[in-house]
């Protein structure tokens, strides 16, 4: 497999990797070329055939992720944005700088024009050196698409930051520190739609979930500690969280928010981003339910119904090898063989959010009822106002039976009861049986999905080989069967009864 991995727009590395190799092989080669030891903070990002921006899962084979013709283009980017003081290697800080610079130029951060010009001045100092040795035309090479007026403002800001101590390396550090204080630092955004057809943005960050408007104005923030469950089905994403009563003496209520995303892969990416971010920033260790949760693709999705333990077509859902603390300690031991960071050394980092606690913020993942759902522990925090998502003036109430219009539930946090009023109870055996049935149902639903787009049901059979693999739309692009590589003479339409 022929791959191009870009470290920056001007640095692209070429690799030849066997199709059957895991993504980890490619990532290790990239890190080895860079001399990067702090691997846990980064990942490889690529665009799918349909243009979706996805993270490469290092635990799965490249062939099931990178589809289409070679060469495949990926980029090395920051995946987990920690405090700048936690970065121990110069190359780590440099890649952080490149990722943050790219996001700034793409408008990821909501900054004033004055703040942006100051940041551009630091970029100029980091990449061009002192202002008195820089030609005006050189600014266009590092800051494209800027007007002459803006370039003059950047030149002034560049001269202001120039000093004897402001080396290019220190300018990068200063840039990272300034960007880390911006509201959008470390947030991964996903465009979504509410049941009222209102456009919204869901942000996954170090503290939980953010619900924003299209203009990136924060409407509500839901902390990890208050989230009970997240799940997805097809292109729908749901989050259940506890809303505090604000000290009124009334029990906290369980609120469900449901969103629709552009495709199933984007819903999967949001589900994965939430789970991995929660594990990295809030857990003491990577739990078993996160390490082992998987699904099956291709023929494996059928075989798993008869042989649940089969590894045929097995792909892991999550790719997070360390927590925040483990990542820091692992890098420290590699850079200082034979030593481990003491508590004082670790907390000399002065983490802004947690420095006064002297403990790393943790919570735990309780269990997964099936492969598309994660249950979290819940430790309620202070009062939070209910989520207010504006409705368009012309919006009308839809039928509750519609899968796209499931009402947002607000239920008291009490035990479910039968009609007679006695608490509903289930023993461990019943709960285990229910989990197995839900898992089998999830596998059955996934086994009927098109293995190309993962959105529609499989509705065609390739003839004469007889393999059932994709939907009618995707079958038109296949001249050979993706399973056996036999030539497709014609495509037969089939129906599930």
- Which of 49, 67, 70, 45 has its CA nearest to residue 58? 45
pLDDT digits (tens, 9 = 90+) for 452-469: 776 778 889 888 888 888
Distances (CA, A) of 20 to 16, 60, 63, 129, 294: 12, 9, 6, 45, 18
What is d(CA 344, CA 147) in angstroms, rounded to the nearest whole number? Answer: 48
Is the N-terminal amide bond of 71 cis, ω within 30° of 0? yes
pLDDT at 342: 59
Phi, psi of 25 (to 5 degrees): -65, -45
pLDDT at 429: 66
pLDDT at 277: 93
- Is residue 423 exposed (0-12), middle (13-18) or buried (19+ Cβ within 10 Å)? exposed
Average pLDDT over residues 239-243: 86
Q: Is the pTM of this model over 0.75?
A: no
Mean pLDDT of the chain: 79
pLDDT at 248: 54
pLDDT at 485: 78
Residue 250 in this model has a pLDDT that exceeds 80: no
Residue 192 in this model has a pLDDT that exceeds 80: yes
Among 138-142, 432-436, 483-487, whose mean pLDDT is lowest?
Answer: 432-436
> Could you tell me which residues are beta bridge partners of residue 457?
449
- Is residue 487 exposed (0-12), middle (13-18) or buried (19+ Cβ within 10 Å)? exposed
What is d(CA 103, CA 75) in angstroms, rounded to the nearest whole number? Answer: 13
Burial 380-389 (b: 16+ CB within 10 A, else e): beeebeebeb
pLDDT digits (tens, 9 = 90+) for 122-131: 999 999 888 8
- CATH match for 2-80 among 3.30.750.24, 3.40.50.150, 3.10.20.90, 3.40.50.720: 3.10.20.90
Residue 180 in this model has a pLDDT that exceeds 80: yes
Q: Considering only residues 410 and 303, tell me which one the structure prediction assigns the higher pLDDT.
A: 303
List the end-to-end C-alpha distance of the chain, in Å, as a whole number.
Answer: 40
Most confident of the ranges 205-214, 290-299, 432-441: 205-214
CA atoms within 13 A on the CB side of 447: 16
> Could you tell me which residues are beta bridge partners of residue 315?
295
pLDDT at 440: 67
Residue 168 in this model has a pLDDT that exceeds 80: yes
3-state SS, residue 273: helix
Residue 260 pLDDT grade (very low, low, confident, very high; cuts 50, 70, 90): very high
What is d(CA 335, CA 339) in angstroms, rounded to the nearest whole number? Answer: 9
Distances (CA, A) of 120 to 11, 130, 152, 154: 21, 14, 11, 6
pLDDT at 388: 46
Q: Which CATH superfamily is domain 448-497 in?
A: Zinc/RING finger domain, C3HC4 (zinc finger) (3.30.40.10)
What is d(CA 381, CA 400) in angstroms, rounded to the nearest whole number? Answer: 32
Residue 351 pLDDT grade (very low, low, confident, very high; cuts 50, 70, 90): very low
The 3-state secondary structure of 101-161, one letter per residue? HHHHHCCCCCCCHHHHHHHHHHHHHHHHCCHHHCCHHHHHHHCCCCCHHHHHHHHHHHHHH
- Per-domain residue ranges of the chain: 2-80, 85-179, 448-497
Q: Does domain 85-179 have CATH number 1.20.80.10?
A: yes
Average pLDDT over residues 92-115: 91
Among 21-30, 118-127, 300-309, 374-383, whose mean pLDDT is lowest?
Answer: 374-383
Residue 404 in this model has a pLDDT that exceeds 90: no
pLDDT digits (tens, 9 = 90+) for 416-428: 333 334 333 445 6
Average pLDDT over residues 256-283: 92
User: Of all residues in the chain, what percent carry a pLDDT higher than 90?
Assistant: 32
């Amino acid at each position: 497999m022929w791959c191009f991995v870009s470290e920056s727009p001007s640095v692209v590395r070429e690799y030849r990797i066997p199709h059957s190799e895991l993504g980890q092989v490619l990532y290790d080669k990239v890190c080895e070329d860079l001399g990067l030891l702090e691997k846990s903070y980064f990942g490889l990002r690529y665009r799918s055939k349909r243009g979706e921006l996805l993270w490469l899962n290092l635990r799965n084979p490249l062939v099931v992720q990178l589809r289409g013709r070679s060469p495949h283009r990926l980029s090395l980017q920051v995946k987990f944005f920690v405090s700048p003081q936690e970065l121990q290697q110069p190359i780590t800080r440099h890649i952080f700088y490149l990722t943050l610079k790219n996001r700034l130029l793409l408008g990821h951060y909501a900054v004033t024009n004055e703040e942006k010009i100051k940041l551009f001045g630091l970029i100029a100092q980091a990449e061009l050196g002192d202002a008195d040795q820089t030609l005006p035309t050189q600014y266009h090479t590092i800051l494209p698409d800027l007007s002459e007026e803006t370039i003059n403002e950047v030149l002034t800001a560049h001269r202001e930051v120039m000093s004897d101590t402001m080396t290019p390396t220190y300018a990068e550090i200063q840039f990272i520190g300034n960007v880390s204080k911006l509201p959008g630092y470390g947030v991964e955004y996903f465009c979504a739609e509410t049941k009222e057809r209102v456009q919204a943005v869901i942000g996954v960050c170090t503290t939980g979930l953010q619900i924003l408007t299209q203009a990136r104005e924060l409407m509500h923030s839901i902390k990890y500690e208050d989230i009970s469950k997240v799940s997805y089905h097809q292109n729908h994403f749901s989050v259940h969280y506890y809303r505090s009563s604000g000290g009124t003496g009334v029990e906290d209520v369980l609120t469900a928010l449901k969103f629709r995303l552009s495709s199933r892969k984007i819903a999967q990416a949001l589900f994965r981003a939430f789970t991995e971010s929660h594990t990295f920033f809030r857990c003491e260790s990577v739990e078993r339910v996160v390490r082992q949760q998987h699904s099956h693709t291709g023929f494996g999705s059928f075989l798993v119904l008869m042989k649940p333990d089969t590894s045929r077509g097995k792909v892991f859902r999550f790719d997070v090898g360390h927590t925040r603390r483990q990542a820091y300690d692992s890098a420290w031991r590699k850079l200082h063989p034979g030593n481990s960071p003491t508590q004082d050394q670790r907390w000399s980092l002065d983490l802004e959010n947690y420095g006064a606690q002297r403990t790393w913020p943790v919570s735990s993942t309780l269990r997964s009822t099936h492969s598309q759902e994660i249950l979290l522990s819940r430790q309620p925090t202070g009062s939070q106002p209910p989520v207010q998502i504006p409705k368009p003036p012309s919006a009308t109430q839809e039928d509750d039976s519609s899968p796209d219009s499931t009402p947002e539930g607000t239920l008291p946090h009490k035990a479910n009861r039968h009609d007679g009023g006695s608490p509903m109870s289930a023993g461990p055996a019943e709960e285990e049986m229910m989990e197995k049935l839900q898992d089998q149902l999830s596998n059955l639903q996934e086994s009927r999905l098109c293995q190309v787009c993962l959105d529609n049901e499989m509705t065609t059979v390739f003839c004469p080989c007889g393999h059932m693999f994709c939907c009618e739309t995707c079958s038109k692009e296949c001249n050979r069967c993706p399973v056996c590589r036999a030539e497709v003479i014609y495509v037969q339409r089939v129906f599930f009864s």
